[in-house]
Amino acid sequence: MIKTDILIIGAGPTGLFTVFEAGLLKLKCHLIDALPQPGGQCSEIYPKKPIYDIPAYPEILAGDLTEKLLEQGKQFEPGFTLGERAETIEKQDDGTFIVTTNKGTKHHAPVVAIAGGLGSFEPRKPKIHNIHLYEDKGVEYMIKDPEIYRDKKVVIAGGGDSALDWSIFLTDVAKEVTLIHRRNEFRGALDSVEKVQELKNQGKINLITPAEVVGILGEDHVTGVVVEQVQQIKKEFEIECDHFVPLFGLSPKLGPIADWGLEIEKNAIKVNNALDYQTNIPGIFAIGDVNTYPGKLKLILCGFHEATLMCQAAYQIINPGKRYVLKYTTVSGIDGFDGSRKEAPKAVVKAIE
C-alpha cells in the first residue's frame, strides 16, 4: 500500500505543480497516471508545440514545461504510479481514501486531488461490427508485449507513427507483417516511412493501401480479417492472420472517475470555486481541466492557481486546527524533503568608510 498526504490523479502540468505547492506546506504527494510518462497532454499530444500563455515564458515547448515542472517539484520527492489508471475509490471510516488502479496497486491518502485533464487516454477503436468479440482473443489496441507475436501472422492497421514503428519492429519477431492504411500516404517520422518502404521492397512488410479492415474472422480467436480495398473498383478479400492490431491513436475518456459518485457536468467534475475546488465528496478535490464551475477556463495557468488554493484546504484536512500562514518563498526559502535548502542570498551589512 502506497501512503501519501495528497494523492494526485493525473500527472499533467496541474498535478505536477501541486507537488510544489503541497511541498511548501510540508505535504507529500503521489501521482497516478495512465500514461507511461508524466506531463499529460503536454507530453502525449503536443510535446513539440509551443505554449505562449505561461506567465513569464513568452514561449515554451509543452515538453519543456513538463521538464521544468518536474525539476521545480523534485526536492519534494513525489512518488509516481505510471502506466496505471485509477479505477476505484473507497472512503474509509476515518475519512481517508484508498484508490486502486487497474493493475491492483493500492494508494492510501487523506486527500485526493483529481487533476485528470480530459480523462485517461484510451485507444481509439475502429468501428468494426464484431471487433469486441475478439478483444484479447487476437485483437489488441496497443502492443504491450511484442513477444506474443513471435512466429505469428500479424495485421496492423493505421497510418501514424505507432503503426509504422510497430510494423518495423515486428518484422524481426513475427512470421508475417501486414500493414493496412486507408491512404497511400503515412504520417510519421520521415525515417520510419522510409524504413517501411525499404522493408516493403524487401518483401518483409506486406503493405496494403488504400484499404481498410472491415471485418474479423475466427471462431473464438482471430484467424483472419476482411479487407476492403478501393483502387478504381472496390474489392473485398480475406487475409489469414493470428493477430489484428488497430493503432488509431488515443482519445481521452473521463473513464472510471465518472463512477465515483462525483457531480459531473459537461464531462467535467463540478467543484466549489468560491472556496477550495472541493467536489461534492469532502476530501476529494478536482483541479485543472477536469473540473468545471461558472466561468471555468481550461488553461494551464488556471490549473496552477486552483492547485495552490486546493493545497491550503488539504492542509486544513490533514492538520485540523494547526496554525499556518502563507509564506513567500523569497522570504523563507524552500526546504526539500530530500534535505536540500534553497534560499535567497543574505544581504551584507557593512559600513562604507
Annotated binding-site residues for FAD read: 14, 33, 41, 46, 86, 121, 289, 330
Residues comprising the binding site? 14, 33, 41, 46, 86, 121, 289, 330
Grid coordinates representing 134 are: 475478439
Q: Binding to other proteins by residue 118, rule CB under 8 A?
A: yes
Binding of other proteins by 114 (CB under 8 A): no
| 132 touches other proteins by CB under 8 A | no
| Shortest distance (Å) from residue 103 CB to other proteins | 26
The footprint of other proteins on residues 134-173 (CB under 8 A) is: 158-160
Shortest reach from residue 105's CB to other proteins, in Å: 27
Residue 254 is a binding residue for other proteins (CB under 8 A): yes
- What is the C-alpha separation between 116 and 32, in angstroms, rounded? 9
Q: In the complex, what is the shortest distance from the CB of residue 316 to other proteins, in angstroms, rounded to a whole number?
A: 31
Which of 337, 301, 339 has the alpha carbon at shortest distance from 73? 337
Binder of other proteins out of 108, 182, 270, 305 (CB under 8 A): 182
Residues 40-79: x where in contact with other proteins by CB under 8 A, - otherwise, as a string: -----xx--x------------------------------
C-alpha cell at 212: 481498410
| Shortest reach from residue 312's CB to other proteins, in Å | 28
User: Sign (positive/negative) of CA torsion 33, 111, 29, 79?
Assistant: negative
Q: How far is the CB of 94 from other proteins (least distance, A)?
A: 34
Who contacts 306 (Cβ-Cβ below 8 Å, separation ≥6)? 14, 277, 287, 288, 291
Interaction mask 183-222, other proteins, x per CB under 8 A: x-x-x-----------------------------------
Is the alpha carbon torsion for 125, 127, 128, 134 positive or negative?
Answer: positive
In 201-338, the DSSP E strands lie at: 205-208, 211-217, 224-231, 233-240, 243-246, 250-253, 264-265, 268-270, 284-286, 291-292, 334-335
Of 251, 329, 332, 340, which lies in the binding site for other proteins, with binding defined by CB under 8 A?
A: 251
Nearer to other proteins, 80 or 293 (CB): 293
226 part of the interface to other proteins, by CB under 8 A: no
What are 198's three cell numbers? 525499404
- What is the rounded distance in angstroms from the CA atom of residue 227 to the CA atom of residue 177? 15
What is the C-alpha separation between 101 and 348, in angstroms, rounded?
Answer: 53
Task: Name the CA dihedral angle for 75, 78, 79, 80, rounded to a multiple of 10 degrees.
Answer: -120
Smallest gap from Cβ 289 to other proteins, in A, equals 9
Cα separation of 108 and 22, whole Å?
17
Collect all residues with Cβ–Cβ distance below 8 Å to 162 and sequence separation of at least 6.
247, 249
CB 41 to other proteins: min, Å: 8
Q: Are strands 224-231 and 233-240 parallel, antiparallel or unpaired?
A: antiparallel
Number of Cβ atoms within 10 Å of the Cβ of 20: 22
What is the pattern of x (binds other proteins, CB under 8 A) and - over residues 265-294? -xxx-----------------------x--
For the record, the C-alpha cell of 27 comes out as 505535504
| Contact flags string 313-342 toward other proteins, x per CB under 8 A | ------------------------------
Number of residues binding to other proteins, judged by CB under 8 A: 25
Measure the CA–CA gap between 224 and 232, rounded to whole angstroms: 25
Give contact residues for other proteins (rule: CB under 8 A): 45-46, 49, 118-119, 124, 126-127, 158-160, 181-183, 185, 187, 248-249, 251-252, 254, 266-268, 292
